[in-house]
């Protein structure tokens, strides 16, 4: 009997070692990891460069309070600012905390302007922003809210990708629009670049802030550093996590100076956020992701994987309903229950992760090669074949 909370429906498989795209279980089996710890392990497992960085730092200094200057955090923040819309950064340990900071920053910005009534944030159906009380209110998923008391106020939700619904939802209390450019948990729902531009224009027209949740779709996942770059727009605030630490708990809230400056001493804090060890890892991951050709590789591999998946979709028209892909953020909408497909693929030694809308997600490390994809596709084929023959 496990002494852990029973909130996860866990598989019994346990892993003891990873190497690149491969994971090795305690039973000695080798798996292909196309789940990537849910879009986290962007450099795969045990990347030697990052391992060396964390070992070196571990021998020097792990943690100091944020009452001191932390050079590793200064460096990483400056690097993030240099490659994004942002002017300033707050580091966290998780995605939900990055969203919490984004929400607080937006509200505090209007409070500072003597517009404290503007605190409401408009979000989109199918959103996922985390599991804290604030972020479940933002996400609005009824099953995540049920049984946890009154939903935190200040959030309204509209249909996904509906600019007219957004317009209609704006009130004198509106502060910001918050959404994921590509929704991950609800099934790789890719919002059109035109829609992103329309939302930016709408925000400008009404003096609203645009907050993007790029926790899953950002950090190179789509083949650009940030998904908003595909639309050629800039948000005012953005939340990052997952890939930014490559497996070490690290998140960040990025903001333009206009809004970020509202967060004066005393307004926010975190004990661990931005500690030397986490930021050392963050800098090492950044080094690797900013290598020449890294993002081109993601785009190329994304196209190669998507093409292969289209072939499989033709081979298994009764199993595969639709392929949704942008770079290495990939969803396969399937006909059988998604849990059944994920289990069949796991039996074929390929790890994927389920999402809403009966979608199997593939979020492989961004360092996958063509050979890796070929092998993953072979295993996918084997897994699908087992389902097809079970059906027949
Ligand atoms: C994972 C995720 C979060 C929450 O991140 P945690 O680190 O689990 O708190 C928020 N938003 C999106 C889009 C995510 O994918």
Question: DSSP characters for 284-337?
Answer: HHHHHHTSTTHHHHHHHHHHHHHHHHHHHHHH-TTTEEEEEEETTEEEEEESS-
Q: Is the CB of 241 under 6 A from ligand 1?
A: yes
- 15-33+293-391 with 49-289: one CATH topology? no
Sole residue written with tokens 């707050």: 90
Rounded to whole angstroms, the Cα distance separating 100 from 322 reads: 34
Ligand 1 centroid from CA 198, angstroms:
25
Which CATH number does the domain 15-33+293-391 belong to among 3.40.50.300, 3.40.718.10, 3.40.50.2300, 3.90.1150.10?
3.90.1150.10
pTM of the model: 0.98
Q: Is the CB of 96 under 6 A from ligand 1?
A: yes
Six-digit token string for 129:
């922003």
- CA-proximal residue: ligand 1, atom 6 (nearest): 95
SS3 391: helix
CA pair distance 255, 239, nearest whole angstrom:
9
Task: Return the CATH architecture of domain 49-289.
Answer: 3-Layer(aba) Sandwich (3.40)
By the 8 A CB rule, do 184 and 356 touch? Answer: no
Q: In what order do the strands lie in the sheet with 22-25?
A: 15-19, 22-25, 30-33, 350-351
Distance 251 CA to ligand 1 centre (A): 9
- Distance between CA atoms of 165 and 167, rounded to whole angstroms? 5
Give pLDDT, residue 120.
98
pLDDT value for 389: 87
The residue assigned the tokens 């923040």 is: 77
| CA dihedral angle for residue 94, residue 360, residue 10, residue 4, rounded to 10 degrees | 20
Query: In sequence order, what are the residues at sequence separation of 6 or more whose Cβ sits closer than 8 angstroms to the Cβ of residue 372?
Result: 20, 21, 32, 364
How far does residue 242's CA lie from ligand 1's centre (Å)? 7
Domain definitions of the chain by residue range? 15-33+293-391, 49-289
Residue 217 CA, closest ligand 1 atom number: 13
Spacing, Cα 241 to ligand 1 middle (Å): 7
Q: Which residues of 46-61 are buried (b: 16+ CB within 10 A; e: fewer)?
A: ebeebeebbeebeeee
What per-residue confidence (pLDDT) applies to 392? 66
Quote the ligand 1 centre to 128 CA distance (angstroms): 7
CA distances from 10 to 2, 38, 315, 383 (A): 11, 14, 31, 20
Decide: 180 in ligand 1 pocket, CB within 6 A. yes
CA of 203 relative to ligand 1 center, distance in Å:
24
Q: How would DSSP label each residue in 186-208?
A: TT-EEPPHHHHHHHHHHHHHHTP
Task: Looking at the chain, list the stretches that DSSP marks H as alpha helix, in order from N- to C-terminal side.
Answer: 36-39, 48-58, 71-82, 95-112, 133-139, 142-145, 163-169, 193-206, 257-260, 276-289, 294-315, 338-347, 370-391
Q: Which residue's CA is minimally distant from atom 15 of ligand 1?
A: 216
- In contact, 42 and 289? CB cutoff 8 Å: yes
Burial of 317 (0-12, 13-18, 19+ CB in 10 A): exposed
Cα 86–132–33 angle (5° rounding)? 75
Ligand 1 pocket check for 128: Cβ under 6 Å: yes
Give the pLDDT of residue 390. Answer: 81
The closest alpha carbon to 183, from 225, 243, 142, 227, belongs to 227
Ligand 1 midpoint to CA 130 (Å): 5
Shortest-distance atom of ligand 1 to CA 135: 10
Task: Spell out the long-range contacts of 167-171 with Cβ–Cβ below 8 A and sequence spacing 24 or more.
Answer: 167/202, 169/122, 170/122, 170/202, 170/206, 170/208, 171/120
Q: Counting atoms of ligand 1 from 1, which one is nearest the CA of 38? A: 1
Looking at residue 1, its pLDDT comes to 83
Can you list the residues of the chain whose pLDDT is less than 70?
392
């Amino acid at each position: 009997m496990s002494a852990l909370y029973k909130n996860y429906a866990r598989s019994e498989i346990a892993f003891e070692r990873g190497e690149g795209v491969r994971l090795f279980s305690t039973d000695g089996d080798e798996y292909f990891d196309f789940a990537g710890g849910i879009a986290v392990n962007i450099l795969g497992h045990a990347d030697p460069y990052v391992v060396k960085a964390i070992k070196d730092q571990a021998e020097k200094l792990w943690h100091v309070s944020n009452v001191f200057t932390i050079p590793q955090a200064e460096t990483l923040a400056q690097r993030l600012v240099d490659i994004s819309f942002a002017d300033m950064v707050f580091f966290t340990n998780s995605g939900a905390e990055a969203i919490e900071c984004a929400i607080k920053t937006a509200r505090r910005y209007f409070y500072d302007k003597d517009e404290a009534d503007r605190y409401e944030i408009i979000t989109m159906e199918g959103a996922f922003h985390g599991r804290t009380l604030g972020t479940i209110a933002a996400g609005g998923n009824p099953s995540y809210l049920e049984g946890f008391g009154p939903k935190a106020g200040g959030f309204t939700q509209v249909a996904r990708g509906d600019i007219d619904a957004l317009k209609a939802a704006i009130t004198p209390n509106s502060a910001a629009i918050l959404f994921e450019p590509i929704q991950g948990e609800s099934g790789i729902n890719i919002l059109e670049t035109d829609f992103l531009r329309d939302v930016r224009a709408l925000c400008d027209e009404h003096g609203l802030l645009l907050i993007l949740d790029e926790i899953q779709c950002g950090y190179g996942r789509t083949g650009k550093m940030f998904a908003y770059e595909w639309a050629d727009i800039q948000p005012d605030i953005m939340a990052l996590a997952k890939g930014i630490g490559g497996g070490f708990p690290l998140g960040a809230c990025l903001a333009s100076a206009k809004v970020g400056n509202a967060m004066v001493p005393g307004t926010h804090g975190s004990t661990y956020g931005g500690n030397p060890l986490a930021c050392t890892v963050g800098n090492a991951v950044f080094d690797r992701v900013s290598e020449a050709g890294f993002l081109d590789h993601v785009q190329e591999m994304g196209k190669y994987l998507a093409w292969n998946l289209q072939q499989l979709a033709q081979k298994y028209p009764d199993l595969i309903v639709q392929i949704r892909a942008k770079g290495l953020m990939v969803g396969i909408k399937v006909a059988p229950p998604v849990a059944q497909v994920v289990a069949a693929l796991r039996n074929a030694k390929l790890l994927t992760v389920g999402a809403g809308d009966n979608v199997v997600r593939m979020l492989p490390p961004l360092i996958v090669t063509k050979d890796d994809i070929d092998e993953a596709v072979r295993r996918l084929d084997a897994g699908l074949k087992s389902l097809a023959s079970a059906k027949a």
